[in-house]
Amino acid sequence: MPDGVALSPERVSAIQHSFNEDWKRLCETAARGQLAPVTDRRFSSPAWRDSQPHLFMAHAYLNTANAMRQLADSVEATPHVQQCIRFAVDQWIDATAPSNFLAFNPDAQRTLIESKGASLQAGITNMLDDMRRGRISQTDESGFHVGENLATTPGSVIFENRLIQLIQYAPTTPNVYTRPLLVVPPCINKFYILDLQAGNSFVRHAVEAGFTVFIVSWRNPLPSDTDGILQATWDDYLSEGVLEAIRVAGEVSGQKQINALGFCVGGTLLASALAVARARGDDPVASLTLLTTLLDFSNTGVLDVFIDETHVRMREQQLGAGGLLTAGELASTFSFLRPNELVWNYVVGNYLKGEKPQAFDLLYWNADSTNLPGPLFTWYLRNTYLENKLRRPDCLVSCGQSIDLGRLDMPSYIYGSRDDHIVPWQAAYASTEIVGGDARFVLGASGHIAGVVNPPAKKKRSHWLLDTPDAALPESADDWLASATEYPGSWWDDWTTWLASHAGRKKKASATQGSTAYPVIEPAPGRYVQVRAI
């Protein structure tokens, strides 16, 4: 084994003995014809339950997978190396499941026979189509069109530069709060995750609650671009992106301060930009909302397996001076964080069974991903994920300013999702100790996206709150959860109530968007969001 990595012979022997005993019991049970169905959904269909040989195969696979995971967890190494080993073993285990192969999947075989071969023909067609796309289809994309049945909340683009378009949404209430809301979505995805369809649009919900909403639409850079965007840096995204959006939203609304919300990487960008503003003596934001955002990168979940000095240095050599981190690479990375749900599930359905995936707006958005400028990506990778400098006061210089997130003393609303595998909710909670103002923390059920996009009308999932919101937050995330109360449904209404307390009085809504200085350029959702990654 490599230096610093060891595996106890005694532990290996114990695992081997346990595996042999499990195998013996499995064979004895199979010989009696008494194999029980398995709960794993990959092997839970009637075709698996009705075939003892295939059911035996499923049990044998699961027993072997369990032993392999025990061996991976028994390796004595640094935590990072242990995590990498477990990730690699899990990838191999998931890829070799018998359900992934036509020769071993009775469900796919039954479909093949019942369809008289049509499923195989359709599966080959689906596979060839996906090979042309360069990705596995996760949804029927034919029924979705941005600007037609996605990103349909009425509004106008009122400002643009080489990095962003700024959209202002039209009011739907006679009166609106005087202080507007600026939304900064992640630059690694398109903004319309927050404006999918009318029934699940976070933007529409905020507009209907009486807020004047602005949102940043990040440009999707292409290899053919020649205006310098391929060399855009983290500082460029702060100055030309977030800070410009704040300035324009403030000028159009006539307010010295606005409210601001950042989602995922958008929250990291927003907090960094506000720290730059504070270092300059500016105070443009009255309240801050952070949704599934990392400010402290001590706990980055499974993504940590990709982060070490060697990998970061290689990326800097590849992309640090310019170029693109492609959307395809980003999408593949995130899909293989949950391969059974986002890869092999579709291999079985699309290719082995010849099915077309169901139309699902969230998965259409997931496939409509974006490229990133290399310098932006490599700066972010080193200074946050690898070296975790952002959380340390005056450790980073951005836009010529030494930044300290602790100087952000405005009230903050910080949200985490309990099953988030990208931003563990405990890491989101850590932001409450970094920003300097009064913080309200809310925990939602489900994952990174589904936990955020959870409209109240659906009456799905739940969220956790402290019943004494003015009390000091516990230092430990687990202590907070122990004291919190679970409430049914979405957290959105709690957020709009909180935001209203920081939004000022109400005034008559304007019939137009923009201003004399910032006239309407085009209707929302604008041109930038329509650009597809190549």
Query: Which are the contacts of 413, defined by CB distance < 8 A and separation ≥ 6?
Result: 287, 288, 289, 290, 439, 440, 442, 495, 498, 499
Structure tokens at 115: 């369809």
> CA-to-CA distance for 285 and 270, rounded, in angstroms?
10
Structure-token match 């460029």, residue found? 236
d(CA 391, CA 393): 6
Name the one residue in this structure whose structure tokens are 């999707």. 220
264 noted as active-site residue: yes
Q: What number of other Cβ atoms are within 10 A of residue 87's Cβ?
A: 17
Cβ neighbours of residue 233 closer than 8 Å, sequence gap 6 or more = 373, 375, 376, 379
Alpha-carbon span 359 to 367, nearest angstrom: 12
Spatial CA neighbour of 365 closest among 155, 141, 525, 531: 141
The neighbouring-strand residues paired with 397 are 402
CA distance 321 to 298: 27
CA end-to-end span of the chain? 42
Nearest-angstrom CA–CA distance, 141 and 366: 11
H or E segment at 74?
A: helix 52-74
Question: CB of 274 within 8 A of CB of 285?
Answer: yes
Tell the residue number behind the tokens 């992106």, with chain if given: 241
Residue among 27, 84, 187, 264 flagged as catalytic: 264
Residue type, 176: V
Residues noted as catalytic: 264
